[in-house]
């Protein structure tokens, strides 16, 4: 017995052929047959995963809609239609599960509020700290100031600084550490 049917006798009964027919010509009869055959099985599968009848029903509908939309991506040579369908159902379930685990967006969350503008006292303190830092940097040799600038203001790595200056990496690290020691001493003296 062959499974060949012409358009007058109805949609093909093989799920792979049904998916191909959906992809080729948006065959509604093939989709209805596929839904009739796989809808209950997908719902039962999703019910085992979700343990919630309404969620399983909703995810079944999403799965069937995804099958309709993705029918053109199905390749019968790569695997069975049932495996492809259940993979879609599983992926939709995973997406739904992830959405549930994600906390809801709260526009009143203080973490999302813009930072407060600094007050006059803060601005004065920032200005004084900046001036003290500039005075302390002026007490250092120019080579050490340059290494601090490259490392902390330009955010270059020590190896990048070594390549740029032609100094060995260990020397760069040592001189930056010495510069910070001197800078700390200079800042303490300025207090």
Q: Which residues of the chain have pLDDT under 50?
A: 1-8
Answer yes or no: is 117 within a domain: no
* C-alpha pair distances (Å), 168 with each of 52, 130, 159, 164: 65, 31, 9, 10
Question: Do residue 93 and residue 163 come from a single domain?
Answer: no
On whether residue 3 sits in a domain, the answer given is: no
If you ran DSSP here, which 8-state letter would residue 51 be given? -
d(CA 58, CA 46): 10
Q: Looking at the structure, tell me whether residues 144 and 60 fall in a common domain.
A: no
| Six-digit token string for 158 | 């020590």
In-domain check, residue 16 = yes
pTM recorded for the entire structure: 0.50
Same domain, 144 and 96: no
Give the total number of structural domains in the chain: 2
Q: Are 169 and 162 in contact (CB under 8 A)?
A: yes
Q: What pLDDT was estimated at residue 26?
A: 92
- Per-residue pLDDT at 5: 44
Same domain, yes or no, for 97 and 142? no
Show which of 68, 101, 134 is a domain's final residue.
101
82 is in which domain, residue-wise? 9-101
């Amino acid at each position: 017995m062959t499974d060949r049917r012409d358009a007058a006798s109805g949609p093909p009964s093989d799920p792979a052929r049904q998916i191909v027919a959906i992809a080729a010509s948006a065959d509604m009869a093939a989709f209805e047959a596929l839904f009739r055959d796989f809808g209950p099985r997908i719902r039962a599968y999703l019910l085992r995963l979700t343990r919630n009848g309404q969620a399983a029903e909703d995810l079944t509908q999403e799965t069937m809609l995804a099958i309709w939309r993705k029918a053109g991506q199905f390749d019968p040579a790569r695997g069975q239609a049932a495996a492809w369908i259940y993979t879609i159902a599983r992926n939709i379930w995973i997406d739904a599960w992830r959405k549930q685990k994600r906390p809801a967006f709260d526009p009143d969350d203080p973490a999302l509020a813009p930072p407060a503008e600094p007050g006059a006292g803060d601005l004065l303190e920032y200005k004084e700290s900046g001036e003290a830092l500039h005075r302390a940097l002026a007490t250092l040799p120019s080579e050490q100031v340059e290494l601090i600038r490259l490392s902390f203001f330009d955010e270059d790595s020590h190896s990048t600084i070594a390549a740029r200056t032609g100094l060995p990496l260990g020397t760069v690290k040592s001189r930056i550490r010495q510069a910070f020691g001197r800078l700390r001493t200079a800042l303490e003296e300025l207090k």
